[in-house]
Structure 1
Amino acid sequence: MDVFISWSGDRSRRAAEVLYDWLKRVMPGQISPWMSDKDLEAGGRWAIDLAERLDEMDAGISVLTPENLHKPWLNYEAGAIGKAVGRSHVMTFLMGLTPTQVPQPLGQFQATTRTQSDVLKMVASLNRINGNAIDQEVLSDQVAMWWEKLDGPLQLIENDTSPTQPPPRSEHEMLEEVLTLLRELSRPPASSPVRTFDTGTPFSAPATLTTVILDTARATDSVQAEMHRGSGQGEWGFTGKGTGRAGREN
């Protein structure tokens, strides 16, 4: 089972890395965590690679901290996975937060606090998505056995509140960037064969990803128009930025 771990900001990234390694210990041979810092090839077309991987995931976990709650890139990734495999397959992992502090749309997903009982529920949900490949009692024992490997590092990360975030960018700047990203995704690479789907639209990505991108582009264009008229963001708030494997901010 492929699980996308989404992050934004330094503390979120470090917590995602701990979770990435820990899940492989708890569900050996049953889960393949994926995160951009570890699994995107350096020098590749990161936007295309990332979108394709999002479309292939079975579930997603968004690692949330107080400083990244309103980062639009997390909304984009959670929304893309939710559209592809269903909202019940998207979860949030909270660092220094309670479920009531998580705004919409991320607040609609199953929230996991940094407690052993909540983490067990999250792992059990992943196991159900994977067809209950591991007996529940065995899974509980695995979580208990490896708990300190997760709890200790996460506690240190949660308590590290030193400022590491860059100054926030304007919403208009982020809107322009995500529109550029979406238009790049809608163009096939020069060396890739162009495929035509039922809509008659030339595209090189899988059909399900095409739908996600087109829906997102329409939503983002609508959001931009509303913001020019002084209104708020759309349902998913697709206004974010990713800077690839290195230096990602949102």
Structure 2
Amino acid sequence: MKVFISWSGETSKKVAEAIREWLPQVLQTVKPYFTPSDIEKGTRWSSDIANELDDSMAGIFCVTKENLSSQWLMFEAGAISKRVEHSLVCPILIGLENSDINGPLTQFQTTLFEKSDIKKLVLDINKANKEHTLEESVLNNVFEKFWPELDAKVTAAMKAGEVGDAHDADIRSDREVLEEVLELSRALAIQKSGGFKLHDELNKRISNFLVSYRVIFEDDWEHTKGCLENSEYFISEQGSFIEPRVSDEGNNWGNRPFLLNSYRRLIEYIHKNNIDIKTAYGE
């Protein structure tokens, strides 16, 4: 079972790292996903995060006073909530009370960072992990064993946050956040319309069309020009370049079928999958 862990700001990041390391010790079949350490440096975030959001069955959001209005955190919480029950969208309040929360996070059941609340959260995740649910007695023992480790790390992160310089916090600019949210929105839209396999297939068909277009109108231009000058041999009186209406579309114009077929397959694919791309003038 995958659990998506979201953070924004230095204290939140340290708490998220601690939870990422701690949770699989308590629930061995749970696989946390934490950004950015789970993404190779230099790669774009959108497809990685979209895939993980789509695959995750729960989301943990590390909320601190410095990220209460984080657009990125709110977006990821909203994206997870569209896939799973609201009970599995879990904002953990670090150094905050429920009365401190406003906006979109109020629709979710929050968890205070205290032993009883964290234990209830772990029990809820365990119940949702139906294929690998631990017996409650076993989970209680494991939780008691590992709780002090998490408590110590989070407490240390909170203390460091209180004395740290606010300018050192890992806070992205509004423009960076909005650009990433837009890019991720597009990636999630691709997932909703059939996933990245569908996107890859569209890319392949576009590539075939562009390559064939270049072959006809660049690499073979002298031959193409001659064929167009003698178009009566290659296009019927009732036809057009796209629909020549002749028995043999190659007919000594060897690469033309490649172009025509790649164009037709691309158009067919766009229409079949209801992709929002114009394929005719005036649409």
| TM-score, length of structure 2 as denominator length | 0.63
Q: Which residue of 2 aligns with 1:116?
A: 115
Distance in 1 between residues matched to 2:94 and 2:146, nearest whole Å: 19
1:1-250 to structure 2, matched below 5 A, reads: 1-28=1-28, 30-131=29-130, 133-160=133-160, 161=162, 162=164, 163=166, 164-165=168-169, 169=173, 175=178, 178-179=181-182, 181-183=184-186, 192-194=200-202, 200-202=273-275
Distance in 1 between residues matched to 2:135 and 2:87, nearest whole Å: 21
Q: Which residue of 2 aligns with 1:236?
A: none
Deviation, 1:120, is 0.5
Distance in 2 between residues matched to 1:60 and 1:107, nearest whole Å: 15
Deviation, 1:166, is 6.5
Deviation, 1:159, is 1.5
Deviation, 1:128, is 1.0
- The one-letter code matched in structure 1 to 2:169 is Q
Deviation, 1:176, is 5.8
Structure with greater helix share of residues: 2
Distance in 1 between residues matched to 2:271 and 2:81, nearest whole Å: 23
User: Where does structure 2 lack aligned partners over 5 or more consecutive residues?
Assistant: 191-195, 204-268, 277-283
- The one-letter code matched in structure 1 to 2:21 is D
> Which SS does the other structure have where 1:96 is aligned?
coil
Distance in 1 between residues matched to 2:19 and 2:200, nearest whole Å: 35
Distance in 2 between residues matched to 1:62 and 1:35, nearest whole Å: 11
Alignment check: 8 A CA contact 2:50 2:187 kept: no
> Which SS does the other structure have where 1:93 is aligned?
strand
User: Where does structure 1 lack aligned partners over 5 or more consecutive residues?
Assistant: 204-250
Cα distance change on mapping 1:80 and 1:121 into 2, 3 Å: same
| TM-score, length of structure 1 as denominator length | 0.71
Deviation, 1:165, is 3.0
Alignment check: 8 A CA contact 1:18 1:150 kept: yes
Report which of the two structures shows the higher radius of gyration computed on alpha carbons. Answer: 2
Root mean square deviation, CA, Å? 3.0
Alignment check: 8 A CA contact 1:2 1:34 kept: yes
Alignment check: 8 A CA contact 1:194 1:202 kept: no
> Which SS does the other structure have where 1:158 is aligned?
helix
> Which SS does the other structure have where 1:92 is aligned?
strand
Deviation, 1:175, is 4.3
Q: How many residues align?
A: 201
> Comparing both chains, which one has the higher relative contact order based on Cα–Cα distances under 8 Å and sequence gaps of 6 or more?
1
- The one-letter code matched in structure 1 to 2:152 is G
Distance in 2 between residues matched to 1:197 and 1:96, nearest whole Å: 51
Which stretches of structure 1, 4 residues or longer, exceed 4 Å deviation after superposition?
A: 166-170, 172-177, 183-189, 195-199
Percent identity, aligned pairs only? 35
